[in-house]
Amino acid sequence: MAEQHHEDIEIEEDTREQFITHDDIGTEVPDDGDHPMDEDEDQEDAADNTAGPSRIAENNSVQGFQVHNGSVFCVACHPTEPLAATGGEDDLGYIWDITDSEVIVKLTGHSDSVTCIAWSSDGEMVSTGGMDGKVRLWRRVGRENYRTWEFLTELQGPDEVMFLRWHPKGNVLLAGSNDSTLWLWQLPSGNTMQVFAGHTGAVNCGDFTPDGKKIASACGDNTFIIWDPRSSTPSVKLSSEDQRFDLDGITSLAVNSSSTLAVVGGANGGVRIISLSKGEVVAALAGHKEGESIEAVAFADILGTGSGPGFALTGGTDGKICIWDLSTMKLRTTLVHQDAITNLLVHPSPKPYLVVSGCADGSLRTWDARTGARVREHKGHQAPVLSASLGLHGSVVVSAGDDNTALVFTTEPTDDE
């Protein structure tokens, strides 16, 4: 860990004033198009996918969940079990079995759309957050299986819940609110541990650092804050007063596995890398089309070395996924969709080089980020993919769509793909 820290500091010092431009852009991997199927193949494919929505010419999902009455806004896969939790426009959430779409429990009690859903790190509790400002909790009953759940408590405070994140090592829940505050609760008691006030816009994104020692949050008025969970006073605050940080509002945020760097994406297409130890912008990355919002960001150890700063991935409404080598702060590869990127997911070890992207055209794709090759195309949605989550150690991805449907796809490459 000491060696990792040393390497990160060297990079930060070398790139503190570095702005990356299109001159530094590496290879771009174009979309090679979708080859039309023969009529006989098309009919056979439709017949083999009865679980998914009807009237879809191409549907290679292995399971479909069509219980929500309205758009499915959020999905989260259980950390270990074949379960998914979804929330939707119908003010409801569900826990369901991804192998057969059986409803395990209906998550009720919201009076407006359920837009956030998250499992505790041990999978013993699930939380839902809604546009009604409520955060509701359920927990597993017994120790024999994960088939029985009970309502635990309702938490209130936020105006409208923008995101939910569980502490990586304990039963502590973080929520971002539309009213510029963040809330921290201890579970299962439901006691409020902290209310963070320092933003002036909707807190669009935030998370605990993987080591659990800090919280990073960002809002629509272009402010990024690092918090000590034990204090309501910001530890570090960056805003557009520093012109290097002018992003026209922050739309996405992620923290690397060593808890040393954050990547934030802006509404204007800008990307910034931030040192969490120094509270400084160490690089400004330019690879997306100006004015196109960065909707998804992630970190990955693509080469599997377990050392160094790794790679940052950014996905924008320009349809591009940029993969940045943080050892040089230069663009390694660009992957291309035909519409806006809505989600980016990185597989866990031992395949951290596999990346799944969700798109507004209704498709998802699994990529090999080492080569830029498209491994699989996941089709079945008739409307934009709004959320996605990896399950069963990355072997499946569950997607939530604007077509009232959640679909399950396998992500592992096959012999003919």
What is the predicted pLDDT for the residue at 164? Answer: 98
Residue 34 pLDDT grade (very low, low, confident, very high; cuts 50, 70, 90): very low
And the tokens for 249? Answer: 């509002």
Residue 147 pLDDT grade (very low, low, confident, very high; cuts 50, 70, 90): very high
What is the predicted pLDDT for the residue at 414? Answer: 62
pTM, full prediction = 0.84
For residue 39, pLDDT beyond 50: no
What is the predicted pLDDT for the residue at 305? Answer: 78
**114-119 and 103-107: which strand pairing?**
unpaired
What is the predicted pLDDT for the residue at 349? Answer: 87
Where is average pLDDT lowest: 113-127, 273-287, 301-315, 374-388?
Answer: 301-315
What is the predicted pLDDT for the residue at 381? Answer: 97
Q: Let me know if 111 is exposed, middle or buried by CB neighbors in 10 A (0-12, 13-18, 19+).
A: exposed
For residue 15, pLDDT beyond 70: no
What is the predicted pLDDT for the residue at 20? Answer: 36
List, for residues 51-102, the tens digit of each pLDDT value: 434 444 589 999 999 999 999 999 999 999 999 999 999 999 999 999 999 9
Residue 319 CB contacts under 8 Å (≥ 6 apart), including other chains: 336, 337, 338, 339, 340, 341, 359
Report the chain's mean pLDDT, rounded to a whole number.
86
Q: How far apart are the first and last CA of the chain?
A: 38
What is the predicted pLDDT for the residue at 413? Answer: 67
Q: Is the pLDDT higher at 389 or at 145?
A: 389
What is the predicted pLDDT for the residue at 391? Answer: 97
What is the predicted pLDDT for the residue at 244? Answer: 76
What is the predicted pLDDT for the residue at 57? Answer: 54
Residue with tokens 């997607």: 399
Evaluate whether 364 touches 341 at the Cβ level (below 8 Å): no
Average pLDDT score over residue span 112-125: 97
Q: Is the pLDDT higher at 159 or at 8?
A: 159
Residue with tokens 């569950």: 398
List, for residues 296-321, the tens digit of each pLDDT value: 999 998 988 777 788 999 999 999 99
Burial letters 126-156, b for 16+ CB under 10 A, else e? bbbbbbbbbbbbbbbeeeeebeebeebeebe
Average pLDDT score over residue span 159-172: 96
What is the predicted pLDDT for the residue at 230? Answer: 92
Domains of the chain: 63-410 (2.130.10.10)
What is the predicted pLDDT for the residue at 310? Answer: 87
d(C-alpha 172, C-alpha 230), whole Å = 12
Evaluate whether 400 touches 374 at the Cβ level (below 8 Å): no
Query: Degrees (nearest 5) of the Cα angle 268, 270, 275?
Result: 140
And the tokens for 231? Answer: 């204090």
Listed residue (295, 296, 290) closest to 246, CA to CA: 290
Average pLDDT score over residue span 236-243: 84
**Percentage of the chain with pLDDT > 70?**
85
d(C-alpha 203, C-alpha 162), whole Å = 7
What is the predicted pLDDT for the residue at 143? Answer: 87
Please, what sign has the CA dihedral across residues 146, 151, 157, 159?
positive
d(C-alpha 387, C-alpha 402), whole Å = 9
